[in-house]
A and B are shown apart, each in its own frame.
Chain A
């Protein structure tokens, strides 16, 4: 079965640079979520989109922005990168918008900021 696709899988950036992470949800899934997992930490929710509109917002820094496009893929844009942004970034998707509870996760993008 098709899964959530994330690209790139690994990304190395320097401080103050920008990064763009992409997420392609499972076909026919209309809701996308972004999570950040620091080393040895649990995943922390950043933001979610349903039908291209922001549906929930968590602890996303102001330096980060995200959007969902007409084909339901999503991009997380990160600017003025800091060392503390080094983490595994997960995208998850679900179907049914306001009726689906389970989220299916992608393999993640490992961002390293040097």
Chain B
């Protein structure tokens, strides 16, 4: 069975600082990995996805993530945080199209001015 662990339930950064949100996965088969963002009282928006193509994936809003098989990681980064990046971020894994996404517990990103 597959699972996702997000290290750090809450991350705080200053505006303009590097954002690093950690995600480690466990899967017995090659995984497909995703990062979603959720703003308060809203749905989940797909930030980026890894589906076995390039290991460095670029997403929306300046975010990117790198798939590292040796470390079973898929950490999300952004060079310079904006106030508007404050939200809940979920890492998710799937091993077969058309089936469930398994989510991590989420990381709340706070950005201070």
Interfacial residues, chain A to chain B (CB-CB below 8 A): 4, 31, 33, 35, 41-45, 48, 50, 55-56, 58, 90, 92, 94, 96-108, 110
Contact = CB atoms under 8 A, between A and B. Distances in A.
A42 B104 contact: yes
A48 B94 CA distance: 14
Contacts of B97: 94, 96-101
Given A45-B101, A97-B97, A101-B34, 14 more contacts: A4-B43, A45-B100, A48-B99, A50-B98, A55-B99, A90-B43, A92-B101, A94-B98, A97-B98, A98-B98, A102-B51, A103-B46, A106-B43, A108-B43
Contacts of A55: 98-99
Most buried by B among A42, A50, A58: A42
Contacts, number: 67
B104 A58 contact: no
Contact of B45 (A31, A33, A96, A105): A105
11 contacts: A4-B43, A33-B101, A35-B101, A48-B100, A56-B99, A58-B100, A92-B101, A94-B98, A96-B97, A102-B51, A103-B101
A30 B34 CA distance: 20
A87 B44 CA distance: 15
Contacts of B105: 41-42
A100 B44 CA distance: 17
B82 interface: no
B44 A90 contact: yes
Contacts of B104: 42
Contacts of B49: 101-102
